Amino acid sequence: MASTALKRYWLALDRHRWASLASLLGVLGLSTVMALRPPRPPLYRAEGSLIPNSPVVALTATGSEVQQRGQGIISEDFLLAEVLLQRVSAELRDQGVDLEPETIRDRTQLHLDGDDDEVLRVRVTFDHPNSDWAQAGLTLLFEGMVELSRVANRAQLQEILTALDERLPAIEADLRTAEAALEAYDREEGPAIQAALDGSLLGAISGGQQQQRQNQLALASLNSQIQSLQQQLGLSPEEALTAAALSADPMIAQLRSQILDAEAQLALLADSLREAHPTIQDLRQNLDAYNALLQDRATEVMGVMGGGPAPQPSLSQVRRSSTLDPARINLANQLVALTTEREALQQQQQVLAQTDGQLRQQYAGLPNKQLERDRLAQQVALNQALYDQIQAKRIDAEAAAAETVSSLTVAQWPTTALLERLSLPPLAIMALGGGLGLGLAIAVASLLDQVDGTLHTHDDLQDLLQVLEVPLLGLMPTLTVASGSPLVLSAQPALLADYERLRSNLQLIHRGSAQEDSAVTPTCILLTSIHPQAGKTTTAINLGIAAAQAGRRTLIIEMNVGQASCCTWLGISRPSVLEPLHYYAGRYQNPIQMVPDIENLYIAPSPQTPLQAAVLESDEMQQFLATARARFDLVLLDAPALNQSNHALVLATATDGLVVVTRPGYTAKAPLVTWLERLLSRSDLRLLGVAIADAGDPDGSADWTLGESASELPTPLAGTAAGTTADPKPSVTYPIDL
């Protein structure tokens, strides 16, 4: 496991050599610069402390509050305020020391002892190359911090006074408004409330009710008397009034007497004189005149009684109403007087009832009035209390000005000491820089390697296959080009074992699933890869050689259209065919050719004309594959990469399964995971497993050098027999699709 990790780090350093070298050189150069710096001058540190301060005698609450606030704002930002630093810088400049405010801030360190709510001690240090100036600078800082705290407390007190002065006019105006409202309410509703409180309102209500009861008794007595007089006179009160007035008028009495005399004369002379007699005519004229005067006089009397013009009564009504004797006139006057008295009592009853209603309504609304007055009085009391509180607070704040001091005081004045600083020898600094640079180089290489999505070692590929639960069929050795070496040397004992293990693993995997598949022995296997340059063709050819060496008739079918054929490296010439269907149907020539010098190995070279998907799905291709299955023990299809076309997926449905060839340093993780999950999810084809090419020697003895490009392939070497003795370390590159 340790060797695997070292290999990964070594490969990462090799791939990202320039970034790692730049990191190493950068850190090493920086450490060299630091090692070659001249020795630093001595540095002196002045140190002292401040503690919270409070007045000797605190007589006001505002003073204590301001003091507590001043201690609560003690912080590093407050103690090293810009105004303080500028003042200290100016005073030092006057003494001949030129230090900028930012320099003073950088050389000053504060340590606040205590909790978040209360600071118990402030320890201050100030560094300077000169011991005297270090002590002078810290002394000025202490004086400035104490003064700054005092000024801050004064400012807080002034802010309190200003805030109180700003609030006082509005509060006083509210108090005056509330007092005016209470005064106006007392003027309007005060008598009623006072009358209710002293009992006079209830007395008035009781007195009114007693008077109403007395009036009711009096009305009952008057009504009985009026009814008795009406029965005696046979007149209503209005008629009695009219009759009494007419009967008491002397002019009406005289006119009635004259009318009676004239009527009496007419009655005496009516028997002796004719109607046309002058005497009779004179009497009748006099009688008419008397009647007219009587009617006019009655109208005048009735108008005077009514207080205005009255309708003219009839003569018979006047004569009937004016015939009362003195006794009846007296009774009529009594009736009229009693009627007038009754009307007065009735009006008095109405007034008493109305007054009683008003008094009762006033008494019923008394609680609301009392509550309203209490509310107004309470509002006045609240405003008065707030006004008094503001006034008291203001007086307290004015008195606090005399006892406001700084919230800080010096507990320990500055003392100066030489600051000892750690200094390493130049060689130690450079050695430390070299170690840090090497570690940084390894870290940079590892980080870049993790960012890179390519799987660089066969261990990474194995871990990924284990996670995806995809079988690992074999680790193929690393093949390199050596001068004069042939292309295909898997027949040599040093390489044959790895490909033989791949062949046997395929057979064992297939046998292990014999209950699910109808075939027991695989006869047709498709080899493909995720992308080109993965070693797929080399694996197919060397697997075919291993199977042929095991005594199985093996056919390699080239389907990797678009790239140069590898048949020339096996001593086979590539046919020139324009019609692929006729080629695979065997109409021109037999597409299957025997590989020279390798027994039991055959190859079907790919035509020069590119194959279309229709050709792969044609009956000719299906018949060709069926014939190959019948004639050979093992058929290997070298199909194009999956990211180039769908030819591999189309052909895989006609095979017993497919093998995906991967290569460390070339196969990317994301596409590999995507394609493997896609292949595992399909039910119409079977993924037999994955083979890892260029994996070095699984035992750890093979070379880890990657193959060269296809343009550097050597010329074919004919006559490579199965039993030819090979170099102990044979090497070969991948043909065409590395």
For the stretch 27-69, pLDDT in tens is 777 777 776 777 667 888 899 998 888 776 667 777 777 777 7
For the stretch 454-489, pLDDT in tens is 777 778 788 888 888 889 988 888 765 443 334 444
Residue 77 has pLDDT above 50, yes or no: yes
Residues 6+ apart with CB under 8 A from 85: 101, 102, 104, 105
Mean pLDDT of the chain: 77
Residue 721 has pLDDT above 60, yes or no: no
The pLDDT > 90 percentage for the chain reads: 8
Question: What whole-number distance in Å separates Cα of residue 489 and Cα of residue 485?
Answer: 8
Residue 662 has pLDDT above 80, yes or no: yes
Predicted pLDDT of residue 707: 32
- Do 434 and 35 form a contact (C-beta atoms < 8 A)? no
Tokens of 125: 């240090």
Predicted pLDDT of residue 431: 78
Residue with tokens 């800082």: 141
- Do 580 and 609 form a contact (C-beta atoms < 8 A)? yes
Question: What whole-number distance in Å separates Cα of residue 409 and Cα of residue 286?
Answer: 138
Residue 386 has pLDDT above 60, yes or no: yes
- Do 482 and 687 form a contact (C-beta atoms < 8 A)? no
Nearest-CA neighbor of 356 among 502, 136, 204, 462?
204
Question: What whole-number distance in Å separates Cα of residue 493 and Cα of residue 67?
Answer: 95
- Tell me the Cα Rg of the chain: 68
Residues 6+ apart with CB under 8 A from 593: 567, 572, 602, 603, 604, 605
Tokens of 111: 């340590």
Per-residue pLDDT, averaged over 299-326, amounts to 69
Local structure of 527: helix, strand or coil: strand
Residues 6+ apart with CB under 8 A from 457: 4, 7, 8, 11, 664
Question: What whole-number distance in Å separates Cα of residue 390 and Cα of residue 160?
Answer: 11
The pLDDT > 70 percentage for the chain reads: 79
Split at pLDDT 50, 70, 90, the class of 289 is confident
For the stretch 200-238, pLDDT in tens is 666 777 777 888 888 888 888 888 888 888 888 777 877
For the stretch 97-127, pLDDT in tens is 888 889 988 989 988 887 766 778 889 999 8
* Spatial strand order in the sheet of 119-128: 108-114, 119-128, 43-52, 408-419
Question: What whole-number distance in Å separates Cα of residue 293 and Cα of residue 251?
Answer: 9
Residue 619 has pLDDT above 90, yes or no: no
> Long-range contact list for 150-155, CB < 8 A, 24+ apart?
150/404, 150/405, 150/406, 150/407, 152/70, 152/73, 152/78, 152/407, 153/66, 153/67, 153/69, 153/70, 153/404, 153/405, 153/406, 153/407, 154/401, 154/404
Packing angle between helix 131-198 and helix 366-400, nearest 10 degrees?
160
Residues 6+ apart with CB under 8 A from 544: 554, 555, 556, 601, 603, 634, 636
The H helix count followed by the E strand count for the chain is 23, 12
Residue 385 has pLDDT above 80, yes or no: yes
Residue 723 has pLDDT above 80, yes or no: no
Higher pLDDT, 585 or 471: 471
Per-residue pLDDT, averaged over 680-696, amounts to 88
Going 674 to 675 to 677 to 682, the CA torsion angle's sign is: positive
Predicted pLDDT of residue 451: 62
pTM above 0.85, yes or no: no
Per-residue pLDDT, averaged over 670-677, amounts to 89
Predicted pLDDT of residue 10: 64
Predicted pLDDT of residue 555: 94
Instruction: Determine which of 169-173, 271-275, 412-416, 436-440 has the lowest per-residue pLDDT on average.
Output: 436-440
Most confident of 242-251, 336-345, 445-454: 336-345
Phi, psi angles (nearest 5°) of residue 687: -90, 110
Phi, psi angles (nearest 5°) of residue 291: -65, -40
Higher pLDDT, 555 or 15: 555
Most confident of 210-219, 288-297, 380-389: 380-389
Predicted pLDDT of residue 436: 80
Local structure of 511: helix, strand or coil: helix
Give kind and range of the element (H or E) at residue 127. strand 119-128
Local structure of 696: helix, strand or coil: coil
Predicted pLDDT of residue 668: 83
Nearest-CA neighbor of 483 among 718, 736, 727?
727
**Domain ranges within the chain, ordered by starting residue:** 9-39+423-451, 205-364, 458-478+493-698
Split at pLDDT 50, 70, 90, the class of 553 is very high
Predicted pLDDT of residue 365: 61
Higher pLDDT, 270 or 706: 270
Burial 535-557 (b: 16+ CB within 10 A, else e): bbbbbbbbbbbbbbbbebebbbb
Predicted pLDDT of residue 166: 87
Question: What whole-number distance in Å separates Cα of residue 182 and Cα of residue 499?
Answer: 113
Per-residue pLDDT, averaged over 137-153, amounts to 87
- Do 481 and 714 form a contact (C-beta atoms < 8 A)? yes
Phi, psi angles (nearest 5°) of residue 63: -60, -45
Split at pLDDT 50, 70, 90, the class of 660 is very high
Question: What whole-number distance in Å separates Cα of residue 518 and Cα of residue 43?
Answer: 89
Going 250 to 252 to 258 to 261, the CA torsion angle's sign is: negative
Residues 6+ apart with CB under 8 A from 370: 193
The burial of 212, by beta-carbon neighbours within 10 Å (0-12 exposed, 13-18 middle, 19 or more buried), is given as middle
Question: What whole-number distance in Å separates Cα of residue 63 and Cα of residue 402?
Answer: 9
Residue 713 has pLDDT above 50, yes or no: no
Residue 138 has pLDDT above 60, yes or no: yes
Q: Which fold has domain 458-478+493-698?
A: Rossmann fold (3.40.50)
Predicted pLDDT of residue 164: 85
CA distance from start to end of the chain: 28
Phi-psi region of 265 (alpha: psi -120 to 50; beta: other; left: phi over 0): alpha
Per-residue pLDDT, averaged over 81-93, amounts to 89
Residues 6+ apart with CB under 8 A from 101: 82, 85, 86, 88, 89
Question: What whole-number distance in Å separates Cα of residue 451 and Cα of residue 245?
Answer: 136
Per-residue pLDDT, averaged over 699-713, amounts to 34
Residue with tokens 């750890």: 700
Split at pLDDT 50, 70, 90, the class of 515 is very low
Question: What whole-number distance in Å separates Cα of residue 439 and Cα of residue 27?
Answer: 10
Nearest-CA neighbor of 672 among 685, 691, 655?
691
Instruction: Determine which of 507-516, 519-528, 578-587 has the lowest per-residue pLDDT on average.
Output: 507-516
Predicted pLDDT of residue 691: 93
